[in-house]
Amino acid sequence: MSKPDVLALIPARGGSKSVPRKNLLPVAGRPLIAYSILHAQACPSITRIIVSTDDDEIAEVARSYGAEVPFERPAEAASDTATDFQVFHHALGWLGQHEGYSPELVVHLRPTGPVRETALIERAVQLMLQSPEADALRSVGTAEQTPYKMWRLEGSFLRPLIELPGYPEAHSMPRQKLPVAYWQNGYVDIVRPRTILELGSMVGKVVLPFIVEGKIHELDYLDQIPALEAAVKAWVAGEAPTLPGEPRHPS
């Protein structure tokens, strides 16, 4: 039996307001985007790695670490308001049109998360391969704050954010009596191409949970850089020596 095609897609646009050029920010001796490429390279089930970017410098660095950049992401899919769906729909459409290529799974690795256990990524891929009924997989962790105690403004008044059948005034009940809620943490997400191209969705209707608890290290704001740097150094000391080496050309 041939090995399933599993594509790792890493979206990395050039613009960023909170941390300018963050995908190229040096972190523990490597540009931030390099870590997601290394994560993908270390997963036995991943057969292809593509970076989707609108930026020539990001493309050059991605290629130097062994990723493919076969197309340039269009401007409408690289704006501040562009969605994941736009990015993935463009990538899969381009690959189908220009290469006749359609993987069985697409693994979404965000470049802002440089600390991952590659064994967890592999486990998530295997879970999807063993679950043909699933449209997608989302990594989640227990939410620190329950949404059942949250409110929204409706005109000049408060209204519960969520109505919970069977739980009148859930906002005033003990947390322990409320259902456990999960927050999507972006550690690793997986989607089938048909979910995007046929259902017009990033998750579809049948979504597998992949629970990853503990601290998720991401770079979204400048004040996160010191903690991120420390976490990456600790990860490098532990897992990174088993990963592929430095790029073919200095970045």
Which fold is adopted by the domain 6-141+184-242?
Spore Coat Polysaccharide Biosynthesis Protein SpsA; Chain A (3.90.550)
Q: Answer whether residue 244 shows pLDDT above 60.
A: no
Contacts of 48 (CB under 8 A, 6+ apart): 5, 6, 7, 8, 68, 103
Domain limits, the chain: 6-141+184-242, 144-180
Q: Are 128 and 46 in contact (CB under 8 A)?
A: no
* Lowest-pLDDT choice from 87-91, 188-192, 237-241: 237-241
pLDDT band at 239 (very low <50, low <70, confident <90, very high): low
Is residue 15 classed exposed, middle or buried when 0-12, 13-18 and 19+ CB atoms within 10 A define those classes? middle
Q: What is the pTM of this model?
A: 0.89
Q: 139-156, pLDDT tens digit by residue?
A: 999 999 999 999 999 999
SS3 11: strand
